[in-house]
Structure formats: structure tokens, C-alpha cells
Amino acid sequence: MAAPAAVGVESATSVAVRNDFAELERQQLLLASRDLHAPVPAAHVGSLERRLAAHSETLRTKCHFLDVRTSRRLEALRRREVSIDGSFSLGLSQLDSLAKSEAGRNT
């Protein structure tokens, strides 16, 4: 049951990252199609481009972090599932042993 909640959290962060990328693309388009009637000084454009590059790097880092975190959480869930399966199998084995010993007593 923990998996759907984790998926919801990951989906929310994925949406946020996608929105950040959309905003980055919008800003890059604005720079590319700036109005020719009011030229922007080259230094300002350079500053904007550096800010966009820094923002892009931040988003790349955030995506990498989310990928690593998701992988770790999935691995933890797999280990938990294996542990639960093992416990369940052990419980069934003990029940079978008890049933056989009861059957042996009754015969």
C-alpha cells in the first residue's frame, strides 16, 4: 500500500520538474525571439543566458537526484517484498508441520 503514496509523491515532483523545464524552454524562446526594435545589450543577454544555463544545470541535478532516490526506494520496496514473502513461506511451513503432527496424533 505504500507504493501508491510513493508514486503520488514522485508524480508530484515529476510534474514540478516538467513545469520547471517548460519555464526554461519558454525563457529560452523569449531570448531567441526578442524584439528587434528594442535591442538588448549583449551583456544583458549574456547574463540571462548564464542564468538559464545555471537553472538548467540545477534542473539536471534535481532530475538525477530524483532518479537516484526513486531507484533506492524501489530497491527498498523489493527487499521488503522478499522479506515478507520469506516470512509468509516460513509461516506456511510451520502450519503444514503442525497440521502433519496433528494428523499423526489422530491416526
Please tell me the distance from the alpha carbon of residue 11 to that of residue 78, in angstroms, as a whole number: 20
Domain extent at residue 100? 2-106
pLDDT of residue 51: 93
In the predicted structure, residue 2 carries a pLDDT above the cut 50: no
Q: Which pLDDT score is estimated for 93?
A: 95
pLDDT of residue 32: 74
Distance CA 2, CA 10 (A): 12
Do the Cβ atoms of 24 and 60 come closer than 8 Å? no
Question: How many domains, in total, are found in the chain?
Answer: 1
